Structure 1
């Protein structure tokens, strides 16, 4: 991850916000905060009982400890059939939201998905939530993946992308999602770009190309 990569992310985020507005949608200005301190990271690690993944630590200590990107298309937007379920997008992270997302994940695991021997329940175990989804789902790190684990989707209601890998690590996840404007974060909005449970976002796929063309995202700076 370089300074140029960080600038490219911001370019694509702003591009997505502008693209949404070109369709008559609404978008909040890109918001970024200062890098997190070691003391702040140690405090959140103590609260969640887990070390933060290596690539997440790199981003929040070197570039920004908090990011907020949010856009929403109008109901009347005439989307291609493949993308008819996509109505919003955005990405957000902060130390505070990591704690909130992990608490939500733990609540689902304890109260609903408690059986590690059950195939569906087991997906909720050994994870670290870091992003809440408005419908109650959680985007999390799979802690079985070492010190820089993959990012996965956790659905609480039999979502089609339950357990799907969204990126090989935090940087890969953000990079892939950013290249297509961060549609989501509900799994049904992401699914056109997820070819298989292990593929991650297919940024060079036909769907990704057609989406960027329709949405109006400039593909430069890739």
Structure 2
């Protein structure tokens, strides 16, 4: 990944938070920490017994170990007013989920993810024996051969799929803790593609029912450069005030 693409990510993050602030909505500017050291990555990998995707390592050691942003289309004065995006969205939006990634918390994150894997075992256990079936086996199996990118505030996760990829990069998938039909939804073919695609629409969500609005079933991943992405960006860039009396 070159510096030009990184700069585009940063521009996209500032675009969405600046636009929401301009419209009178809640937003916090992106926080972009300095890069992590290779020693930090080595410690994580040795302690956890994993190998992090190389494209992810490149970003966090060259550009930033931690990125956060947060915004909603709710009016920031506490009035309860919300901007509803026009059809086909017909809803409000939010984005960022507080943090996109954070290297310093990865070991804690991984420990939490391992607990989820124990909750959803790859094979039947005595506890599940009476209800175990093929559907349960398939849903539970999706939790395995993965390592986390981030935990979502609602208890779901975005994770790297280690069964696929080329050793340098791996697809990103959505994992639901409560039986969503989007459990296992593929988001992108790599970390770089995911952040690029996601940032184009202000890192909406990251809950699945927001992300799914940009999920292309034929491509089997998020697509934000087409008509839907254009409509979203046009709404964000609307020069007319969303709340005319907002100061």
TM-score (norm 2): 0.81
Q: CA separation of 1:48/1:216 partners in 2, compared to 1, >3 Å: closer, same or farther?
A: farther
Flag structure 2 segments of 5+ consecutive residues without an equivalent. Answer: 75-80, 124-133, 239-247
Q: 2:151 aligns with which of 126, 132, 145?
A: 132
Q: Which residue of 1 aligns with 2:70?
A: 70
Query: Is residue 167 of structure 1 aligned with residue 188 of structure 2?
Result: yes
TM-score (norm 1): 0.90
How far did 1:171 drift? 0.6
* Aligned pairs (5 A) from 1:35-184: 35-74=35-74, 75-90=81-96, 91-111=99-119, 113-116=120-123, 118-145=137-164, 146-147=166-167, 148-184=169-205
The separation in 1 between residues aligned to 2:71 and 2:62, in whole angstroms, is 26
The answer to which of 186-195 and 153-162 deviates more is 153-162
Flag structure 1 segments of 5+ consecutive residues without an equivalent. Answer: 218-222
The answer to which of 84-93 and 134-143 deviates more is 84-93
Q: CA RMSD in A?
A: 2.0
The separation in 2 between residues aligned to 1:81 and 1:105, in whole angstroms, is 36
Checking the alignment, whether the CA contact within 8 Å between 1:86 and 1:184 is kept in structure 2 is no
3-state SS, counterpart of residue 120 of structure 1: helix
Structure label with greater radius of gyration: 2
How far did 1:80 drift? 1.9
Number of aligned residues: 217
The separation in 2 between residues aligned to 1:166 and 1:78, in whole angstroms, is 24
Checking the alignment, whether the CA contact within 8 Å between 2:174 and 2:186 is kept in structure 1 is yes
Q: 1:201 aligns with which of 213, 217, 222?
A: 222
More helix by share: 1
The separation in 2 between residues aligned to 1:86 and 1:115, in whole angstroms, is 37
3-state SS, counterpart of residue 163 of structure 2: helix
The separation in 2 between residues aligned to 1:151 and 1:54, in whole angstroms, is 14
